[in-house]
Amino acid sequence: MLGISVHEAAAALRLGQLSATELCQRCLSLIKETAFLNAYITVTEDIALKQAAEADKRLRQGKSLGKLDGIPFAVKDNFNTTNIETTCASRMLKGYIPPYNATVVQKLLDQGAVLMGKTNLDEFGMGSGSTDSIFGPVRNPWSYSKPYREKRVECGSLIDEDSDWVITGGSSGGSATAVSAGTCYVALGSDTGGSTRNPAAHCGVVGLKPTYGLVSRHGLIPLVNSMDVPGILTRCVDDAATVLGVLAGHDPLDSTTIQDSFQPFTLPDEVYVKDLCVGIPKEYHAPGLSAETLSIWTKTADLLENAGARVVEVSLPHTCYSIVCYHVLCTAEVASNMARFDGLEYGHRADVEDSTEALYSATRREGFNDVVRGRILSGNFFLLKQNYEKYFLKAQKVRRLIADDFVKVFSSGVDVLLTPTTLGDAAPYLEFIQEDNRTRSAQEDVFTQCANMAGIPAITVPASLSSRGLPLALQFIGQAFKEQQLLSVAKWFEKQMHFFPLQFYRNQANGDILPTNSKSATSL
């Protein structure tokens, strides 16, 4: 039994029921067997086995480095990793081998965690489906689960095995899939507008976006510096708390991190919500919200009330401007961030020698996909002298209003907010790609984006399966640096939902490997 959580796997390692090498080998074989999901861009098999052997040595000698010693983890391919290719799923960085580890990667390695590989994403994190990658789209493992397949057959709409699957959400879809499919216990994502929470919701795992400044961005290849945060994907809330304890705190290499030290916390076994005030933002009743999501949202509000919490309707009046405001701020930062990719210093270089300008433009035309090029163009437009005030400055002001909405609500006595994470369950791939990247993001990020504008923490927790057999989730949004309170409520909610994560198992009859979310299945 692989165990579901870090906690369980760590206990098995400590008790000697399993070695770190065995655990690593099981994850490696699962990575190979689920390669069709396209979750990983690079699998670091040799490194993982070496690190696992070192962990075993420490465990044997009673010198464990802590809870994560020997625990397999994966990293989104927009975090730098020493001597391991880091591509951002872009032709521009294909072949780029960074000379250093992102702080968050180093912190996990320092705890003895075992690096399984680098995960797939939308190019440079620009997207919400993990479909816009030069390595091809990521497939949601739940597409292969019994409930989903049966429903497709039942309604006569199963087209063919190879094209009938749903998206993972994005842009950290590789990381969400890696955790959901059981190929690792923890994965790092990044979250600029929802990129950790959105795929976590669609893949039925927990996704935490910490407060801006709590976790170092050093070594995370930037998308929107003023909003990016490393995200944590795990199979349960307790694990997210454990990993946050390892990652959080000041980093001299990231001047935007907090100065104070962070006190790691463990959540108690029993969590209570009786003295809490939970806000339900009325603006989150957005067009397109599925009836099923609305129903879990309402039921959860009732459950909270029955458990003694005070549930109040609140208003965040500037919510409706967040997507358009994000479009201006995101593209403006993208335009300046991407300027470094000119064919001279990093990655791809076009085979053009006519002039420096011709080299730049050919490199960028060849290196970036049309989504990235489109955002650079928009961003440069907003930053033009004659547009700067009209668009960029105005968007900055609106951002402040969006952030102030949260401040007002929280200072009125509300502790956390309860919202949906996404409008509904994951879309079929063929349907999703009918829309352009921007329209899709606008739909997918509608409930997640505001927390990035305000820099406050938010977590998504799986709730139940939709009538199509796909995961549905809810989001809690908390106050800046009050992760402990946020995670406590999230754990309470998790306990009420009894959502059982996906596990792959081998069909004894024909040797096929299949996912299940039933407790009775024997895992690999």
Nearer to ligand GLN, 140 or 195 (CB): 195
Q: What is the token pair recorded at 228?
A: 């990016």
Burial class (CB in 10 A: 0-12, 13-18, 19+), 298: exposed
Active site residue 466: no
Least spacing, CB of residue 232 vs ligand GLN, in Å: 14
Q: Computed from CA positions of residues 133, 290, 207, 399, in that sequence, does the dihedral angle turn out positive or negative?
A: positive
d(CA 91, CA 334): 17
Catalytic residue among 67, 76, 209, 491: 76
Least spacing, CB of residue 442 vs ligand GLN, in Å: 9
Nearer to ligand GLN, 81 or 172 (CB): 172
d(CA 171, CA 158): 26
Q: What is the token pair recorded at 134?
A: 């030069």
Active site residue 171: yes
3-class SS letters over 425-486: CCCEHHHHCCCCHHHHHHHHCCCCHHHHHHCCCEEEEEEEECCCCCEEEEEEECCCCCHHHH
Nearer to ligand GLN, 221 or 463 (CB): 221
Catalytic residue among 133, 171, 175, 216: 171
Burial class (CB in 10 A: 0-12, 13-18, 19+), 521: middle
Distant-in-sequence, close-in-space partners of 494: CB < 8 Å, separation ≥ 6: 206, 236, 237, 461, 462
d(CA 429, CA 131): 8
- Going by DSSP bridges, is the β-strand pair 229-234/206-209 parallel, antiparallel, or unpaired? antiparallel
Nearer to ligand GLN, 194 or 457 (CB): 194
d(CA 392, CA 331): 10
- Going by DSSP bridges, is the β-strand pair 186-191/72-76 parallel, antiparallel, or unpaired? parallel
Least spacing, CB of residue 67 vs ligand GLN, in Å: 28
Least spacing, CB of residue 382 vs ligand GLN, in Å: 15
The H-or-E segment that residue 337 falls in is helix 322-337
Least spacing, CB of residue 2 vs ligand GLN, in Å: 30
Least spacing, CB of residue 195 vs ligand GLN, in Å: 3
Q: What is the DSSP string of 26-66?
A: HHHHHHHHTGGG--EEEE-HHHHHHHHHHHHHHHHTT---S
Q: Are 267 and 238 in contact (CB under 8 A)?
A: yes
What is the 8-class DSSP label of residue 254?
B
Nearer to ligand GLN, 126 or 489 (CB): 126
The phi and psi torsions of 392 (rounded to 5 degrees) equal -65, -50
Nearer to ligand GLN, 195 or 319 (CB): 195
First-to-final CA distance of the chain: 7
What is the 8-class DSSP label of residue 315?
-
Q: Are 172 and 179 in contact (CB under 8 A)?
A: no
Nearer to ligand GLN, 21 or 130 (CB): 130
- Going by DSSP bridges, is the β-strand pair 458-465/471-477 parallel, antiparallel, or unpaired? antiparallel
Least spacing, CB of residue 96 vs ligand GLN, in Å: 19
Nearer to ligand GLN, 314 or 330 (CB): 330
d(CA 348, CA 346): 7
Nearer to ligand GLN, 293 or 378 (CB): 378
Active site residue 76: yes
Q: Are 471 and 142 in contact (CB under 8 A)?
A: yes
Q: Applying CB under 6 A, which residues contact ligand GLN?
A: 125-128, 171, 190-195, 223, 330, 441, 445
Least spacing, CB of residue 262 vs ligand GLN, in Å: 23
Least spacing, CB of residue 201 vs ligand GLN, in Å: 13
Q: Are 126 and 82 in contact (CB under 8 A)?
A: no
Catalytic residue among 195, 216, 378, 441: 195
Q: Which residues are catalytic?
A: 76, 171, 195
